[in-house]
Amino acid sequence: MNLNLDVKFNETIQRMIVEQLRSNWTSSDPISDEALVHRSSKTRILGAVGRAAGLPAFPQVRDLVDAEFVAYCDPSVLARGQFVPLRRSSDQILLAVANPWDYSADDYCAGRFPNDELLKIVTLASEVSAVIEGTTNSSGPSRAELEAVEVEEFSGETPDFDVTRLHEEPIAQLVASMVSDAIKQRASDIHIKTEKLSCHYCYRIDGDIGPRMEMPLKLRDRIDAFLLNLMRLAPEERSKRPGISGRFTASYYGRSVGIRYERHRTYRGYHVTMRLLDKTHLEARLGMGTLAFDAETLFELEKAMAVPSGIIVMSGPTGSGKSTTLNAMLRALNRPEDNILTLENPVEDEIPGVTHCDLRDSSEFKPMIASFMRSDPDIIFMGEVRDRESAELAIEAAITGHKVLTTIHTPRASQIIERFQQLGMERWKIAQTLKAACAQRLVKILCTGCREKQAGVSEHEIRMFSLDPKWASQPVYVHNKHGCSECHGRGYAGRTAILEILPISPLMGDLLSKGEITPYELEQQVRRDTGLPSLRDNGIKLLGEGRTDLDALRKVLDLTYKE
């Protein structure tokens, strides 16, 4: 049983928490302990933990923080014990703990503040981490220190890279600061680029690439060699292949953050992209957090997941959250009685109870799938359908009675069918096995601290984006171009996923296999029959709710034509 609070509890404490959850459960329908925990939000579980421990529960504690007081404490100790002293007043210390049954916080405070009384509250582990991050400054080496580096003298190997401690070597400190700042700012990627006279790095945050941070050009190869050492690749590898793929782990205040490394040659040097696989701040549960889809869409997705065999395909561009949604689906499907195997390149999010397999190169794909089919699987997750071979194996696995989850690159859900046909799949096989075609995007959400209200949408935008004339007088919100301290000057604060789904019923599958309906006509028919919203519908709904603006929508959706 997973209580989803990032801390481990023994069986006795788990029973106490479940009893508290059950005592506040309003429905009279019988429900198992596991289902009760699964259907409870983090906030509800936190309240149960607080009642079981006899402590007040606070889902958010950042407004209670005295930053100077927290800075007086050792962040590595706080992160390891998952507690943080928030403030000190009149010989009393307000102490937030993630696990009220772990007394390392009491021991630490007794040694550091022996004469003060502790007032304990319980909060989420993510809140503790956020407070530690928000009161800790990471500073890189100065420009003078970097310029003084002797290029020929560097050597070293860092198999497990701690990005929150100070490193004596300036290159190590530069990379540590680069990575730790990226994690702190919730960046999805770090880009390192080389031009004729300069070298710089920048972060992609909420889908947008931010300002450049310049570095001395002469350090280009030093940084390259250091990163190759982190992945235990010899420095001479940079001259052997046009592209290098790898992975290393960064230790950030006691938690591990996987980093996927991709590097290719350019005219002036190289371009490095490091994808941060930091899942600790994501709410990867269907129907909650960033995956709080439209109710009918979520119902149809769960309905497709209930089918014992067939394919569910998630489409969308790179960085649209497809893997996060599929991993949330795997978590929902993960049962002790099912054997779940995944084939990924690379593994991004490990799920307890699921067997993850890492695909090192494309030549391993066919033998790995053949081995999968002999490993008695119930559910197979394939990272991506890229070519005829992967499409064929996915469909064959579904035909032989397996449930298959995978991704593909198409703009619309209905185009998934066309893409499988382009890869050489017979239409009757697609119609027989495809249970749900989905398309997803990530839309930036306005910062509520600085968003600006407008009286309506301009006539030009109404015509440009085929909007209803009523939008001319309907109040909307737009992002503040200068932002605020809450959103770090971006005007947006995070992203949310929107999803369109085309459930393929037996009737629709029959029409499709006989060629009596095209994929686009199928999409229109499903919309008429079910009323399910499209990506455009979901985006316009967010606009009407004041959660996003047209600038954010136009970057991920084609709004110029009505569907």
Residues 387, 272 share a domain: no
Half-sphere CA count of 353, side-chain side, radius 13 A:
14
Residues 502, 389 share a domain: yes
Residues 376, 492 share a domain: yes
Residues 400, 542 share a domain: yes
Mean of the per-residue pLDDT values of the chain: 84
Residues 220, 165 share a domain: yes
Residues 409, 525 share a domain: yes
Number of domains the chain is built from? 3
Q: Report which residue type is found at 46.
A: L
Collect all residues with Cβ–Cβ distance below 8 Å to 343 and sequence separation of at least 6: 357, 359, 365, 368, 369, 372, 380, 381, 382, 383
Output the pLDDT for position 563: 66
Residue 192, domain CATH: 3.30.450.90
Identify whether 562 is part of a domain: no
Output the pLDDT for position 452: 93
Residues 538, 503 share a domain: yes
Residue 322, domain CATH: 3.40.50.300
Identify whether 75 is part of a domain: yes
Place of tokens 């990379």: 175
Output the pLDDT for position 552: 93
Burial annotation 42-73 (CB, 10 A radius, 16+ → b, else e)? bebbbbbbbbbbebebbeebeeebeeebbeeb
Which of 249, 277, 305 marks a domain boundary? 277
Residues 530, 435 share a domain: yes
Identify whether 320 is part of a domain: yes
Hey, is 83 helix, strand or coil?
strand
Residue 32, domain CATH: 3.30.300.160
Per-residue pLDDT of the chain (563 residues; tens, 9 = 90+): 445 444 455 778 888 888 888 887 776 677 777 777 777 778 888 888 888 888 999 988 888 888 888 877 888 888 888 899 988 887 888 999 998 888 888 888 888 888 888 899 999 988 888 888 877 655 566 565 666 676 654 444 445 788 888 888 899 999 999 999 998 888 989 999 988 888 999 999 888 888 999 998 888 888 888 888 888 876 666 566 677 888 888 888 877 888 888 888 888 888 999 998 876 545 467 877 778 888 899 999 999 999 999 999 999 888 888 888 988 899 889 888 889 988 887 777 778 888 888 776 667 777 777 777 778 889 999 888 888 888 888 898 898 889 999 999 888 899 999 999 999 999 899 999 999 999 999 999 999 989 999 999 999 999 999 899 999 999 999 999 988 888 888 899 888 999 999 999 999 989 988 888 899 999 999 999 999 999 999 999 999 999 999 999 999 998 887 76
User: Domain range holding 465?
Assistant: 289-554
Identify whether 283 is part of a domain: no
Question: What does the pLDDT look like over 136-175, one tens digit per residue?
Answer: 655 566 565 666 676 654 444 445 788 888 888 899 999 9
Hey, is 456 helix, strand or coil?
coil
Burial annotation 127-143 (CB, 10 A radius, 16+ → b, else e)? bbbbbbbebbebebbee
Q: What does 101-135 look like in DSSP terms, one character per residue?
A: T-THHHHHHHHHSTTSEEEEEE--HHHHHHHHHHT
Q: Residue 516: phi, psi to the nearest 5? A: -85, -5
Residues belonging to the chain? 563
Identify whether 29 is part of a domain: yes
Residues 402, 331 share a domain: yes
| Helix extents (H) in 24-152 | 33-38, 42-53, 67-71, 75-81, 104-112, 125-134, 143-147
Output the pLDDT for position 548: 94
Output the pLDDT for position 182: 92
Burial annotation 503-542 (CB, 10 A radius, 16+ → b, else e)? bbeeebbebbbeeebebeebbeebbeeeebbbbbbbbbeb
Place of tokens 């941060």: 276
Identify whether 282 is part of a domain: no
- For the whole model, what pTM was predicted? 0.69
Which of 277, 305, 320 marks a domain boundary? 277
Output the pLDDT for position 154: 45
Question: What does the pLDDT look like over 1-53, one tens digit per residue?
Answer: 445 444 455 778 888 888 888 887 776 677 777 777 777 778 888 888 888 88
As a whole number of angstroms, the distance between CA 231 and CA 226 comes to 9
Contact (CB, 8 A) for 430 and 420: yes
Q: What does 352-378 look like in DSSP terms, one character per residue?
A: TT-EEEE--SGGGHHHHHHHHHTS--S
Pair of tokens at residue 348:
């991004």
Output the pLDDT for position 252: 87
As a whole number of angstroms, the distance between CA 377 and CA 372 comes to 7
Output the pLDDT for position 1: 47
As a whole number of angstroms, the distance between CA 312 and CA 310 comes to 7
Dihedral sign for Cα 459, 461, 466, 470, please.
negative
Q: What does 233-292 look like in DSSP terms, one character per residue?
A: --GGGGGT-SEEEEEEEEEETTEEEEEEEEEEEETTEEEEEEEEE--TT---STTSGGG-
Pair of tokens at residue 136:
């800790």
Q: How many CB atoms lie within 10 A of CB 167?
A: 17
Residues 460, 336 share a domain: yes
Residues 311, 189 share a domain: no
Identify whether 2 is part of a domain: no
Residues 375, 268 share a domain: no
Output the pLDDT for position 158: 44
Which of 101, 134, 167 marks a domain boundary? 134
Hey, is 552 helix, strand or coil?
helix
Identify whether 4 is part of a domain: no
Q: Which residues pair with 478 in a beta bridge?
A: 452
